[in-house]
Amino acid sequence: MQKFQLYINGQFEDGAAQFDSINPATGQVWAKMPEARTEQVNRAVQAAEKAFYASDWSALTASQRGKLLYKLADLIEKAAPRLAELETLDTGKIIRETSSQIAYVAEYYRYYAGLADKLEGSVVPVDKPDMQAWLIREPVGVVAAIVPWNSQLFLSAVKVGPALAAGCTIVLKASEEAPAPLLEFAKLIDEAGFPAGVVNIVTGFGAECGAVLSGHPAIAHVAFTGGPETAQHIVKNTANNLAKVSLELGGKSPFIVFADANLDSALNAQVAAIFAATGQSCVAGSRLLIEASIKDEFLRKLAERVQSIRVGLPEDMQTEYGPLCTLKQRQKIQQVVDASIVQGATLITGGNTPEGKGYYYPPTILDCSQTPQADSITTELFGPVLSVDVFYDETEAIQKANSTPYGLASGVFTNNLTRAHRMTKAIRAGIVWLNTYRAVSPLVPFGGYGLSGHGREGGIAAVLDYTTTKSVWLRTSDQPIDDPFVMR
């Protein structure tokens, strides 16, 4: 039985209480996790606030901050096998994905390390002959970063990396579902040599952890990834501190296939879009919009491909598909699938909770073309359920793609270049993948529209999001100010 600790002010400590963490592949308790409550959360924020002003952090040059991030990246790369093993144990994600993804996380920290000393100010050519003005970018302050269990090292990297590059300090809250990888990550922060309090890592539940953190008066920026319901609570909490908020929320992303597309490529991409990571991805391509003339052929091939997916233990490198993270999520998915079938959706494959240990659920395809308002096509399930609808022309494809309050990701498959450009412009989503899906890079911003949130993570703009602009005025004349009662 493994045991994990919180990381507050450069020290590892037990939580106010403990809670069990379940291995989703077996349904058995495998570790004890520390539960941070109000007092510990407050201490973590206070440590971050003190560290923000302390000379061993605030006096570092931007280049020195970058060197710390480079060292952290090297440590992540070295520790990737251990971190991947923990993520697989705690979340049920297959080891072949956690290994690849965590190794790539190091590149995110290297990217932000390189940006640390590129945050330049500017001189403003003001319209006053006896004045000079310039702008300085300064760190916004203490950041609260709140991440979900899925892809947690990646989703924390796009917050921690730019925040530290900008000179902020941070309290990182790991999800109470499967927090092991981020609690282990604290050891790398410690080893890299960041001053005490610059990064603090906690986990815990609702009112005594997340709400205390997001509403704390010392928090200047809340960066959250998760569901819209939780985001609404966070926004309300920030009425207490007027913190800046960036939100990366859910999606009900359309995956659009035109008849002229490379269907084999589209087929593989659709499998990746909805069945990789057992569908537990905010960018999951969970709505297949297929041109009517190729629907039957595409669904036949897709069903054949799905039935060949290798389901197994997540720690086996040959496994392509593992369990869901929680029993609660599996129960929700089954309820929505059952309701959709009652509403008129046709089950193509999957759709039934299997017997046996663990939280497995089969890859499921529902033909909703006769019931486009079925629950499965309107509800974000965060699981391996693909809802299928048809379109007859480009206009209808756009209308159906945008018929959702979400707007995170989308995929378009066509060999018509001009159509691809038209679709890119028309789709209301923060990401449009053309003839590919699920590609990411530290250089490219990531975020959505509508209920998928606001703000962007990744790219140069992400670092700027953790800064604020200071305007500096200098009067160059030696003459006395002529009229003190008139604004100059």
Give me the active site residues, please: 248
Specify the pairing of strand 142-146 against strand 169-174: parallel
Tokens of 43: 């201490």
For tokens 């090292």, what's the residue?
153
Tokens (6 digits) for 335 = 């309820």
Task: At 443, list the tokens.
Answer: 């250089």
Name the region of 211 (left: φ>0; alpha: ψ -120 to 50; beta: rest): alpha
Using DSSP's 3-state secondary structure scheme, residue 117 falls into helix
What letter would DSSP give residue 430?
A: S
Count of CB atoms situated within 10 Å of the CB of 1 = 7
Of 154, 174, 173, 157, nearest to 165 by C-alpha is 157
Please provide residue 120's backbone torsions phi and psi, each rounded to the nearest 5 degrees.
-85, 150
Locate 48 and state its tokens.
């971050």
> Whole-angstrom Cα distance, residue 52 to residue 41?
17
Give 174's DSSP letter: E
User: 390 has which bridge partners?
Assistant: 290
Pairing state of beta strands 453-454 and 169-174? unpaired
Residue 118 exposed, middle or buried by CB count within 10 Å (0-12, 13-18, 19+): exposed
User: The tokens of 197 are what?
Assistant: 């309090």
Sequence letter at residue 214: S
Give the span between the Cα atoms of 418 and 400, in whole angstroms: 20
DSSP 311: B
